[in-house]
Amino acid sequence: MLVPMRAILEAADQHRYGQAAFNMNSVGQIEAAIRIHELLRSGAILQGAEASNAYMSGAQDFMHGTIEQKQAGAKVIGDAVKKYGADSIVPVALHLDHGKSLESVKACIDGGYTSVMIDGSSLPYEDNVALTREVVKYAHPYGVTVEGELGVLAGVEDHVFSATSTYTNPMQAVDFFKKTGCDALAISYGTCHGANKGKDTKIRREIAIATKECMMHEGISGFLVSHGSSTVPQEYVQQINAMGGDLQNAFGIDVNQLVDVTRCGINKINVDTDIRLACTRNLMELFIGSPELQESETVGAIWKAMRANPKNFDPRNYLWSIMPTITTGEVPNADVQKVVNCMKDGVTESIAPLLVQFGSYRKSHLIEAVTCEQMAERYKKAGI
């Protein structure tokens, strides 16, 4: 069933395990992601970024999508999650990743999202508080979970650009929760957006510990989120480069560090790059192993786009020739089916180990089956 993200995070927090959250960029990926969560009996948090919403509307310049395109794409993603998740045996939440404005938040809630993030981390503190509080006031009457962000991560991911990072102040995090009423908070504690995190990136776990301790001392019922936490498996990078890719300095967060912080107060761990790499690796293997597909009328353009930019590993930049399949899940022929299967397999391979390692597998029964309507009543009674 579809639930507000808060229900999934409450279980993770209470039972001290980590819940991974995965960014989705096609109907097929959504289907595969929900399926592997079902097989492993894990609650599911699927995410759509602002750029992903624009992309799923069919916008080629999705990094600069209009609000109308984001509205259309949010509904496409929302409808797909409802199709595969509404009757699922595991709780499923759909979350906006790095929303930048109230308009984007409204578009996602209208499209069926059960959770939203508003990222005001680049703003002065009081402006960040004001924007987040405004989103909370809008979203909570719908029973929709709200995540904020405090501190600035380094790196690049969709609309998130920063050359330097600013660590989160635990005491300021407490103040932020109190003033905004948000449910969850993404903190800056050493992770980094994108695939170029640095070979020996070290998480400052003490920031997560101190923040959670301060929250508990003040009686704050909130949850901490780790952004920029893709593990960037080195076998993916090596395999892509061996087939003609050109990925340099591509390193992630050591998975053992992420497992560790799930015991230090981090409840949600965002992963995006791993899925992109797995799908790209699979597609390169497909085209090299079946060279006739390189000249296919329907999928040959995918191979040409991949070869034209060996540094690129984001499937959104080379799948334009099958965009109707990306946005509807409908497969017109066998060649496209092979591509879709590669994408689904990439999702499954990259997600499954993390569900086990972070500890959410076989935990879906611990998550309360609460609807957004029921959660809205709880917020109303609590005055938030």
Distance linking the first and last C-alpha atoms of the chain: 24
E strand segments, 133-182: 145-150, 154-157, 160-162
pLDDT score recorded for residue 165: 55
At 109, list the tokens.
């809630």
How far apart, in whole angstroms, are the C-alpha atoms of residue 251 and residue 130?
36
- Helix (H) / strand (E) containing 271: strand 266-271
How far apart, in whole angstroms, are the C-alpha atoms of residue 200 and residue 46?
28
- 3-class SS letters over 204-216: CHHHHHHHHHHHH
How far is the CA of 361 from the CAs of 20, 99, 203, 217, 260, in angstroms? 11, 28, 24, 30, 17
User: In sequence order, what are the residues at sequence separation of 6 or more whose Cβ sits closer than 8 angstroms to the Cβ of residue 175?
Assistant: none
pTM reported for the whole predicted model: 0.94
DSSP assignment of 72-102 equals: HHHHHHHHHHHHHHTT-SS-EEEEEEEE-SH
Position of tokens 């590993």? Answer: 313
pLDDT averaged per 10 residues in sequence order, the chain, 384 residues: 98 97 98 98 97 96 95 98 98 97 97 97 96 98 97 52 66 97 94 66 91 96 94 96 95 94 95 97 98 97 97 96 97 98 98 98 98 98 91
Decide: helix, strand or coil at residue 318: coil
pLDDT score recorded for residue 158: 44
Degrees, nearest 5: CA angle 161-258-365: 110
Q: Tell me whether residue 13 is one of the annotated catalytic residues.
A: no
pLDDT score recorded for residue 159: 46
> Within its chain, how far is the Cα of 62 from the centroid?
17
How far apart, in whole angstroms, are the C-alpha atoms of residue 163 and residue 348?
32
Which residues face 186 on adjacent strands?
A: 149, 225
pLDDT score recorded for residue 157: 46
Residue 224's nearest CA partner among 206, 208, 204, 242 is 208
Q: How many helices (H) and strands (E) does the chain have?
A: 15, 11
Is the distance from CB of 199 to CB of 278 less than 8 angstroms?
no
Position of tokens 């690049």? Answer: 156
Q: In what order do the strands lie in the sheet with 154-157?
A: 160-162, 154-157, 192-193
Q: Which of 97, 183, 274, 335 is catalytic?
A: 97
> Within its chain, how far is the Cα of 15 from the centroid?
22
User: In sequence order, what are the residues at sequence separation of 6 or more whose Cβ sits closer than 8 angstroms to the Cβ of residue 289?
Assistant: none
266-271 vs 92-99, strand pairing mode: unpaired
Is the distance from CB of 18 to CB of 360 less than 8 angstroms?
yes
How far apart, in whole angstroms, are the C-alpha atoms of residue 150 and residue 167?
8
How far apart, in whole angstroms, are the C-alpha atoms of residue 294 and residue 334?
14
Q: What is the DSSP letter of 380?
A: H
- Using CB atoms within 10 Å of the CB of residue 256, give its burial: 0 to 12 exposed, 13 to 18 middle, 19+ buried: exposed
How far apart, in whole angstroms, are the C-alpha atoms of residue 320 and residue 280?
14
Residue 93's nearest CA partner among 190, 9, 198 is 9
